[in-house]
Each structure stands twice: as C-alpha cells, then as structure tokens.
Amino acid sequence: MFQGKAVNLTALDGGIVELCFERQGGSVNKLDALTLNELREALELLRAKQGINGLLISSAKDTFIVGADLGELAILRRQSGEDIARINGGQSAVFSLLEELPFPTLAIINGLALGGGFELTLACDYRTMSDTAQVGLPEVGLGLFPGLGGSVRLPRLLDLATALDWIASGKNQKAGVALQAGAVDTVVESGLLRQTALLELLTSHRSTAWKIRRQQRLQPAQIGKPQIFADARSAARKSQPMVPALHTLIDLVEQTITLDRDTALRLEAAAFARTLKTQAAASLIQIFHNEQLLKRKAREYGRTAGKLEKAGVLGAGIMGGGIAYTSSVRGIPVVMKDIAEPALELGINEARKQLGKQVTSGRLTPEQAEAIDKQITPTLTYEQFDQLDIVVEAVIENLSVKKSVLAEVERHCQANCVLASNTSSLSIAELSSALQRPHQFVGMHFFNPVPVMPLVEVICGPGTSQIAAATIASYASTMGKTPVVVRDCPGFLVNRILTAYILAFLRLVRDGADFIEIDRVMQEFGWPMGPAYLQDVVGMDTANHVIAHIANGYGERLLPGFEHAVERMASLGRFGQKTGLGFYRYETDPNGRPRKILADDTHRLLREIQPRGPQPFSDTEIIQRMMLPLIIEAARCLDEGVAASAAEIDMALILGIGLPRYLGGALCYADWLGMPEILNQCSGFATLGGLYSPTASMREMAGSGRRYYAD
C-alpha cells in the first residue's frame, strides 16, 4: 500500500491496515522531518481509501519511537518565533490527521515511546503496551514541553495532577503505572502483544465506543481544582526556577484545557515557539549533544584501553573506601591496601555503608550486596599487587608522601599496570618524577563524595601514554562516571576555573558586598549553593590552601593581592561546617546533619578587611562580577588545550561543581551573551585586575562573530 524510508503500510486480514515505523539505516525510530512527511502521506492515503476497519500502528524496531531529531530541533530554533509556530503547528497537524481517521486506531507500544513517540500514541483511540515497555515525555530536560499535542491531549486523558506531574518530571513511566493512570488500555507480555492488539482492534470497529471516547478527547475538559495549578507552579519554582518551559506549560494547560482541541493546539504551537527560543532550551539541547560526544569518547577510550579485570586502591579511609565501593559495585574487584588496620577498617566500613544504602533503597538485595562486599579484599601487604591491571593511589594530599608511596607500589606491580593518583591539585609531572615507568602514570581526580559525584578528571602528565590515559578513562566509565581527559596544570580544569569564580567572590566581599546577598543572588541564578556557603562546606583550611596553590600557579593575574575572607577565617580557626563556624554557624539537626544559621559576628569580622566598609551592589552587578572570571578562565583553558573541546570544559563544570544546567556551561553561556557583550562587561570592571581581562582569542571572536559552538 505504501513503502517509505521510515513508514510502511500493509493490508492485514479483516480490513485492518498496519502502519509500521521502520527507519531504514537507523537503530531506532525518530520523528524527524522525513518520518513526519511520510506519515502525513500515508495517513492521507488511508483517509481516502474505502473499506478499512481499523489501523494498527507498530514499530519494527526494539523500541517504538524515541522522540524528535534534536539536530533538526537545533536548526528549527534559528527560525523566527512565527515560523517556528507555523512549522510546529504543521507537524502537530499530522497527529490531528491520525486522530480524525474514520475508523478506530490502536498503537502497539513494544518498547520506549518517548516524547513525540508517546504524543503520537495519544492521538490514537487505543494503546496496547508491553509489560516491559515504558512511556514518557522527557522534553523538560531539554528546556521544552511536549509540542506535538502532548500538552493538550495528556491532561484530557489522565487525571490533571498526574498529567502535569508526568510532564514536569520528564520521567519514564513503566507499564503498570501507565495502565493505572489510564495512559494505556491494556498491558500484556511482549509475546502476546501483537495478537492482543489485533483482537482489540477487530472488536472495537464493531462498536461505537471508539467514536464516543474520541469525541470526548476533542472536546473541552473540566478544569478541575484550581489548586492543582497553584501547586504545580510552586513545585516548578522550586525545581526549575530558571527554566521557563514548566512555567509556560502550566499556564498553557490552564488556558487550553477548557478550549476545543484545534484552538488549544494553535496556542500550544505558539507557546512552544516562544519556549524553543529561550536560553534554557538552547543550552539544554546543547548539553544533550555534549553528552553524546562524551559517550562517544568513552567508547573510544574503551577500544584503546588495556585490560580491566582487577584494580587496587592504595590508601583506605573514606575516599579509598568510596573508590573501592564504586569499582566493585560496577563489577571490577578491588584489593584495598593501607598501612594500618584502623584505616583499613574505615575504608571497608565506608564501602559497606554505601552498600547498605543501596539495600535500603531497594537497588540491591542483601545477597547482591554481600556478593559485592566480597569483591573488596582488604590487605596490609602488597601480596596481590602483581596481579592488578590498575592501582589508584588515594593517600593524603601531600607531594612527598604521594611520591614515596607511588614509587613503592610501582615496584610491586606488573610492568603493564597503570598507576593513577587521586589528587585534586598536585602536579602530575612532579609525581611522575618518582617513577620508573612515567608513561604508565595518570592523574585520576575523583570529586567528593565519590559514590555520588559523576565527574572524574583524567590528568595526563608530560610522559603519560595514550593507552594509560584511555585505560583510566575507561575504568572511570566502567565505574559509572563521566571521564574528561585534561592536561596537567595547577588546579587542572575544574578547580582552576572554580578558583577564578571564588576569587571574584572574595574581591566582591573585600569591596563591601554582603556575603549573604551574594549567596542569595547566585543561588537564585541557579547554583546549588552560594560561594560563601560552598567555602564552609569545603572547609576554610582546605579552600585557603587550594586558592593559594592555584593562584600562585598563574601569577599576578589570579593573585588576590589582599587579605581575603577565606584567609582571615582560616587564620581564626573558623573552618566552616567541620568546626561549626565559618561564614555561617552550624547546628546539628535531628537527623545528624549540619544546619546553617546566621553567625552574629561574621559581618563585623569582614568589615575589618573591607577598606570602604559595607557597600550596596545590584543583583546584576553581582552576577556579572561572579560569572565573568569563570567564563574567561574557561576560555583560557580551551586556548591552552587543557581540555580538547568547549563541550568537555562545559560538561566538566556542570558535572563537577554544579554550574547551572540551563546555562549550558561557561562557554555555552558566553555564546548566549555574545562576545561583544562580554567584552563590554569586562571593560566596566577593568580596574579590578586580571580576573576581568579577556583573552586575545575572545577579542578576535568578538570581531569575527565566531562562537564556541557552531550554530
């Protein structure tokens, strides 16, 4: 009947026609322009044909349809808002054409039906779902909302609060949940899926039930309780304060749920166009592409890497125990060594604590946890180290101690064993000078806490071989982490850029800004916590050491040149949470966690290092003064080849220090602002020193119109 590159029509018995999605040359089905055009053509053919009793919609792939083509979406967002609304409305009209066919329609959901794939099924009269399949509307993760009728159809199909929650969470929903909510009509075992669906479709055309339920979907619905929208707005302000999509979606549903379908769809297309043009959408779509790049690189590391069968952790304690747990839970057995039994016990207990959390949450059974625990071998000797493929050193952050330990362990390892040092700041070049095989040595910077933080910096020293770096990067991927390979320099990548941001904070405080106001502004801007609170969490002693080490590494450009707040706090023993007093005071809550409260004497203490005393600063000035040094340092890292691409730098900042996702990263944010605007802002702060001095490449970009990310 119809044979396309993505859509096929086949006549079945009983007057049933099957519309099958089977994208040629692709592993999955996507709703790209080709597929939508072929779908329109097929549906128009069906509408004109006589004698059809029902339409069965299926997929020849293991999944149903995984959503839109994000490459096409990125191109679409370059259009004007009016053109986006027109194009989107035309695509949505294809689903309306499906919804208006003069016979019943049923979608077989055999695997993932996500985004536009799930929206397509909502335009059908019936949905039959495999018990292993999942449906979902993940658009919010891209700074968007369902724009092919999903925001109109789902609230008319489900309970309103449930529909809003599904869209706002972006989570995949399992078959049982979808059935209970009313999103699908039948859930069966995958082996019975097709025959069940055919039987239901053959039965449905003999009655008028499908016409009645279709008519109900096309009509305005009851608004329900207004409190539902108030609750949804409150949740959106907490979860996505800087992402307009959710707020627009809630307003849209409240406006359209009492309107007829076609009017509602026109309003949806206009709202979708406005949302697609937002910074959040541009940035979050870019993040998706960046994540795909990192996944491809991880696969390349795996192909290059050496053997990964058994690992060692040198130095137990909290960090070593976290590394051992993270390795063993992902299937790589670990030998964990320390020189003292108490430290070894601490490491084992940390690993068991993490396993216990997995059991409590239901992610592991007690039996599985016990089996993983047995994959961690504690030892006080080097007896098994000649059998290891990788050894991660995690002893105290002291150059001489680490050099001594690394030289010692190297003598007990096989020649092809890769050694890695878990260091946050020490020179990999200097550490490698103690080794006989520096080509087998790599930095491996885990972020704390190890089981939670997704980023691992893989630091290449001057002699590090490609295979050694790939082996450690592949090991990090196996542990469920995202590796970013970087070049050795003071602070490496993330801490170097973060230090510029913290120095901007310290300069603001010196110039008279209220640290509480800075924390408020930056948290409202999207950071998980303000810079003052962050220093309390890190520990003022640690923070002061890191600031001094990294700033000294780059000379006058980063050297503060004044006594700063962290330095003063550290000198007074106000180390933050660990001592109960820093910028803030801390008390223990009923769950044993530190609770932040205001400290009465902090403002008085800071006035002693504020030459002009307290001064007012606007929110805009605080944001600019905080973010410009971060952008500039990220640009310097790209210029110097500290990381290979803007994508890797931006993802490292998002994963390592919680840079707000809606910004897309420092360099993506720079593209959004525009380099001429950044230079203009920098010129306004030129008297503040090197932190605000743009690079030569930034000036060239402003003149040429070049961007960090190609459109």
Report the side by side order of strands in the sheet with 126-130.
2-3, 7-11, 16-21, 54-59, 105-109, 126-130, 186-188
pLDDT given for residue 224 in this prediction? 62
Instruction: Count the alpha carbons within 13 Å of 169 in the hemisphere toward its beta carbon.
Output: 11
Instruction: Look up residue 159 and give its amino acid.
Output: D
- CB neighbourhood size of 371 (10 A): 12
Q: Does 286 have pLDDT greater than 80?
A: yes
CA-to-CA distance for 498 and 692, rounded, in angstroms? 15
* Distance, C-alpha 421 to centroid of its chain: 26
Residue 148 is classified by DSSP as T
User: Where are the chain's structural domains?
Assistant: 2-277, 308-488, 495-704
CA-to-CA distance for 363 and 356, rounded, in angstroms? 10
- CB neighbourhood size of 72 (10 A): 15
Average pLDDT score over the chain: 95
**Residues 321-367: pLDDT tens digits?**
999 999 999 999 999 999 999 999 999 999 999 999 999 999 999 99
Question: Which of these, 93, 83, 94, 89, lies nearest to 38 by C-alpha position?
Answer: 94
Span 432-441, average pLDDT:
97
CA-to-CA distance for 7 and 684, rounded, in angstroms? 57
Catalytic residue among 445, 545, 564, 603: 445
pLDDT given for residue 200 in this prediction? 92
CA-to-CA distance for 617 and 505, rounded, in angstroms? 13
Is pLDDT larger for residue 664 or for residue 209? 664
Secondary structure (3-state) at 484: strand
Cis peptide before 342 (omega within 30 of 0): no
pLDDT given for residue 175 in this prediction? 97
Q: Does 222 have pLDDT greater than 80?
A: no
CA-to-CA distance for 540 and 545, rounded, in angstroms? 8
pLDDT given for residue 415 in this prediction? 94
Structure token pair of residue 178: 């979808």
pLDDT given for residue 185 in this prediction? 96
**β-pair type (54-59, 16-21):** parallel
pLDDT given for residue 241 in this prediction? 86
Question: Which of these, 163, 105, 160, 159, lies nearest to 136 by C-alpha position?
Answer: 163
Q: Does this model's pTM top 0.85?
A: yes
136 beta partners: 114, 172
**Residues 598-634: pLDDT tens digits?**
999 999 999 999 999 999 999 999 999 999 999 999 9
Q: Does residue 428 contact residue 464 with C-beta atoms inside 8 Å?
A: yes
CA-to-CA distance for 241 and 235, rounded, in angstroms? 9
Q: Does 221 have pLDDT greater than 90?
A: no
CA-to-CA distance for 623 and 629, rounded, in angstroms? 11
Distances (CA, A) of 116 to 38, 81, 250, 279: 15, 20, 19, 22
**β-pair type (390-393, 441-446):** unpaired
CATH 3.40.50.460 fits 2-277, yes or no: no
| CB burial readout 35-50, b (16+ within 10 A) else e | bbebbbebbeebeeee
What does residue 107 show for φ and ψ, rounded to 5 degrees?
Answer: -100, 130
What does residue 21 show for φ and ψ, rounded to 5 degrees?
Answer: -85, 120
Q: Does 390 have pLDDT greater than 80?
A: yes
Q: What is the CATH number of domain 495-704?
A: 1.10.1040.50
CA-to-CA distance for 54 and 64, rounded, in angstroms? 19
- The CA-based angle 579-451-453, given to 5 degrees, is 80
**Residues 145-180: pLDDT tens digits?**
999 999 999 999 999 999 999 999 999 999 999 999
Q: H or E segment at 140? A: none
**Residues 85-116: pLDDT tens digits?**
999 999 999 999 999 999 999 999 999 999 99
Span 674-679, average pLDDT:
97
Q: H or E segment at 412? A: none
CA-to-CA distance for 640 and 633, rounded, in angstroms? 10
Distances (CA, A) of 412 to 113, 386, 466: 53, 6, 23
Structure token pair of residue 265: 């769809």
> Contacts for 317-321 with beta carbons within 8 Å, 24 or more apart?
317/343, 317/346, 317/347, 317/350, 317/394, 318/346, 318/347, 318/350, 319/394, 319/422, 319/446, 319/448, 319/450, 320/347, 320/350, 320/394, 321/346, 321/347, 321/348, 321/349, 321/350, 321/351, 321/354
**Residues 265-278: pLDDT tens digits?**
999 999 999 999 99
Distances (CA, A) of 293 to 152, 279, 289, 562: 34, 21, 6, 42
pLDDT given for residue 591 in this prediction? 84
Q: Does residue 136 contact residue 171 with C-beta atoms inside 8 Å?
A: yes
Span 418-426, average pLDDT:
94
Span 286-290, average pLDDT:
94
Distance in Å from the first CA to the final CA of the chain: 40
pLDDT given for residue 219 in this prediction? 81
CA-to-CA distance for 483 and 445, rounded, in angstroms? 10
**Residues 534-559: pLDDT tens digits?**
999 999 999 999 999 999 999 889 99
| SS3 sequence of 577-613 | CCCCECCEEEEECCCCCEEEEECCCHHHHHHCCCCCC
Q: Does 223 have pLDDT greater than 70?
A: no
Q: Does residue 249 contact residue 151 with C-beta atoms inside 8 Å?
A: yes
Structure token pair of residue 667: 């360099």
- Backbone CA torsion sign across 97, 100, 102, 106: positive
pLDDT given for residue 239 in this prediction? 85
Superfamily of domain 308-488: NAD(P)-binding Rossmann-like Domain (3.40.50.720)
Q: Does 685 have pLDDT greater than 90?
A: yes
Q: Does 584 have pLDDT greater than 70?
A: yes
Span 263-290, average pLDDT:
95
Residue 440 is classified by DSSP as G
pLDDT given for residue 482 in this prediction? 98
- DSSP strand E in 165-249: where? 172-174, 186-188
Question: Which of these, 52, 65, 56, lies nearest to 22 by C-alpha position?
Answer: 65
Number of helical (H) and strand (E) elements in the chain, helices listed first: 30, 20
Residue 513 is classified by DSSP as -
Which of the four pLDDT bands, split at 50, 70 and 90, describes residue 532? very high
Instruction: Look up residue 431 and give its amino acid.
Output: L
CA-to-CA distance for 36 and 94, rounded, in angstroms? 7
**445 among known catalytic residues:** yes
**Residues 439-468: pLDDT tens digits?**
999 999 999 899 999 999 999 999 999 999
